[in-house]
Amino acid sequence: MTDLTMLLTPEALSVSGIYQWKLALLTMVMTALIPLVGGRLLRLAPGFRDTARLNREAAAQRKDRANYMAVSHRSGAWGILGLGLIFVLAVPLVATTGTQSGWKIALDVFIVLMVYDFFYYLVHRFLFHDGGFGPGPLLWVHATHHQQHNPCRMDSSYLNPIENLMGQGLYAAVILALGLAMGGLDVITIIITAVAFIQINLHNHDRQDVGHWPYRYLKYATDMHHVHHKRFDSGNFATISLFYDWLFGSLDTGQGWGKNRRPAKPAKAAGAGNGASKVAGKAAAAETAEA
């Protein structure tokens, strides 16, 4: 019994033989500090500044809704437990320091994010939605998040607490499993993936009007996630990239996917389409204002 207890200590489970709480603390601080400093620098560019303003205005309207802030605060409170899974359970057991080359760190970052996104895709598609085999068992959990049909940045935290905990727990599990399998993960790798995990999940909800270079991909990514929010039967289930949606046939540009695919609307004659376009534009503007 004593031997078993010794085998289950954090030091025994850690890849370095040491519970790396200092590296975990460093990771947590840098994960908060990098977006704070980086965000201020990025907002010096007009495109990022305009996007931030647009989302602040949308958030201000959200705060006036009944129960909106209560749902967000409850999700955030549970999120503290999720952060514990990441920075208390996973990171201290697999974080290492060394002289890894830049290409090795880049490769590990790619592996971590793509493995996470693969399992998130499966969870999102088959547990939270009708992934093609009937409604997922946790559809009711994800329905809270999908109350926002035209999301803004703040809606990334409008979650059922179970969903918030599952997302953070999945990232912690991927970090822990890959770290143990790969003999540890450099602390720089963990910091980069943690920042990417949090910021991508935050900013793919952005309302963004700026679509010229160098914002073109950001506009495309947020547009595709807005397609996902528009209808509960839409595709685009991955969160880091759209690779798995492309690979598994759930990429949705607005016409649906799979059995929910809708036929494209026939093109209008050049002269006849003007009135319809104006009506559609007014309807879209009204819907945006309401959302």
Residue ranges of domains in the chain: 16-259
- Pair 203, 226: CB distance under 8 Å: no
Compute the average pLDDT of residues 74-78: 95
pLDDT value of residue 12:
58
Cα 77 from chain centroid (whole Å): 18
The alpha helices in the chain, defined as continuous H runs, are 2-7, 10-13, 21-42, 46-62, 68-84, 91-94, 102-122, 139-142, 161-181, 187-203, 216-230, 243-248, 273-290
State yes or no: pLDDT of 150 exceeds 60.
yes
Reported confidence tier of residue 156, pLDDT bands at 50, 70, 90: very high
Rounded CA separation 63/158 (Å): 12
pLDDT, tens only, 79-127: 999 999 999 999 999 999 987 899 999 999 999 999 999 999 999 999 9
Out of 185-199, 216-230, 233-247, 256-270, which region has the weakest mean confidence (pLDDT)? 256-270
pLDDT of residue 91: 97
pLDDT value at residue 264: 74
CA distance 29 to 35: 11
Q: Indicate whether 141 pLDDT > 90.
A: yes
Bigger pLDDT: 10 vs 246: 246
Residue 185, H or E segment: strand 185-186
| pLDDT exceeds 90 at position 143 | yes
Task: Give percent of the chain with pLDDT exceeding 90.
Answer: 79
Does position 186 have pLDDT exceeding 80, yes or no? yes
pLDDT of 173 strictly over 50: yes
Higher pLDDT, 232 or 272: 232
Q: Distance between CA 154 and CA 125 in Å, rounded?
A: 23
> What crossing angle do the helices spanning 21-42 and 187-203 adopt, rounded to 10°?
40
Length of the chain: 291
Tokens of 151: 């999301």
Find the helix packing angle between 102-122 and 161-181, rounded to 10°.
140
Contact 211, 224 (CB under 8 A): no
Count other C-beta atoms under 10 Å from residue 261's C-beta: 11
Q: What is the pLDDT of residue 276?
A: 35
pTM given for the model? 0.86
> Are the beta carbons of 15 and 93 closer than 8 angstroms?
yes
